[in-house]
Amino acid sequence: MLRLSVIRPFVASLTALVVLAGAPIARADEALVAVAANFAEAIEQLAPKFEASTGHRILATTGSTGKLYAQIKEGAPFHILLSADAKTPAKLAAEGAGDGSSRFTYAVGKLALWSAKQDLIGSDGAETLRAGSFAHLAIANPELAPYGIAAQQTLESLDLWATLQPRIVMGENIGQTHSMVATGNAELGFVALSAVQSPTKPSTGSAWIVPQELFQPIKQDAILTNAGRDNEAARAFLDYLKTDEAHAVIESFGYGIE
């Protein structure tokens, strides 16, 4: 069981908010990046380091991978997608909306069962779930969010998916799911480990890191969209994500690196 030190609601604060309606056309040294909600805090740490080392600028907005995909398909001017899965970038490439040769796994996500209550989750989170001493269990919507799929797979592996259906509440993305738990609207929930292991804003409460064998690995892939093919800053940022400096930041949030 993890013991965590400072509670705070998850806020997907952005390097900059891109308003899709009437979004400005980016300069050659500026890239618009669509970022999966679980990676919001990591991008805040990465952006200034990238800008300091290259002189380029990135503007990032976060959301569920499913919604970001839909916005790109509808013509949103994002140059990069940092997805919460590998499937969505592959789909963009197959549909001719992204550069398949640019795809790579920038982070491997980890899942945690978390409660804002210090003693709710014991050393074996599976036993906490089986005991059922809670009214609501928050997960991200599996139809929109890869971390929601991982949560469903975990419950299915534990043979608890059907049993806990009446208690499950869903967030549109993993950020909303974290907020449900942080505000007490759900006593516990499946969240990205990065949300409770932030090096800058750690959370209090109790948590259980879900064993990898209970869900399929969450490989988070990046891809250059068609809009970013000729954008120097976008290509430079994808290169930066492969550096030791970027890897150190990513790992500090509890992600794995391939």
Contact (Cβ atoms closer than 8 angstroms) between residue 86 and residue 221: yes
Pairing mode of beta strands 188-192, 111-115: antiparallel
Q: What is the mean pLDDT of residues 109-131?
A: 96
Q: Which fold has domain 30-108+218-252?
A: D-Maltodextrin-Binding Protein; domain 2 (3.40.190)
Which secondary structure element, helix H or strand E, spans residue 221, and what is its range? strand 218-225
Other C-beta atoms lying within 10 Å of the C-beta of residue 190: 29
For 202-249, how does the pLDDT look when each residue is reduced to its tens digit (9 = 90+)? 678 999 999 999 999 999 999 999 999 999 999 999 999 999 999 999
Residues of the chain with CATH 3.40.190.10: 30-108+218-252, 110-214
Output the pLDDT for position 199. Answer: 85
Average pLDDT over residues 173-183: 93
Amino acid 156: pLDDT: 98
> CA-to-CA distance for 199 and 255, rounded, in angstroms?
12
Tell me what pLDDT residue 202 has.
Answer: 67
CA distance 41 to 64: 14
pTM over 0.75? The answer is yes
Q: Would the pLDDT of 11 be above 50?
A: no
E-state strands within the chain? 2-4, 30-36, 57-63, 80-82, 98-109, 111-115, 137-140, 168-171, 188-192, 205-209, 218-225
Q: How confident is the model at residue 16 (pLDDT cuts 50, 70, 90)?
A: very low
Q: Which tokens belong to 92?
A: 């963009």
Q: What is the mean pLDDT of residues 173-180?
A: 92
Q: Is the pLDDT of residue 17 over 90?
A: no
Tell me: pLDDT of 8 over 70. Answer: no
Using 50, 70 and 90 to split pLDDT, how confident is the model at 3?
A: very low
Q: Give the CATH H-level superfamily of domain 110-214.
A: Periplasmic binding protein-like II (3.40.190.10)
Alpha carbon distance 17, 60 (integer Å): 6
State the amino acid at position 31 in one-letter form.
A
93-113, pLDDT tens digit by residue?
999 999 999 999 999 999 999
Strand partners, 2: 207
At residue 192, does pLDDT exceed 80? yes
Average pLDDT (27-56) is: 92
d(CA 95, CA 238): 21
Phi, psi of 75 (to 5 degrees): 105, 10
What is the per-residue pLDDT for 168?
A: 98
- Contact between 8 and 178 under an 8 Å Cβ cutoff? The reply is no
Per-residue pLDDT at 152 exceeds 80: yes
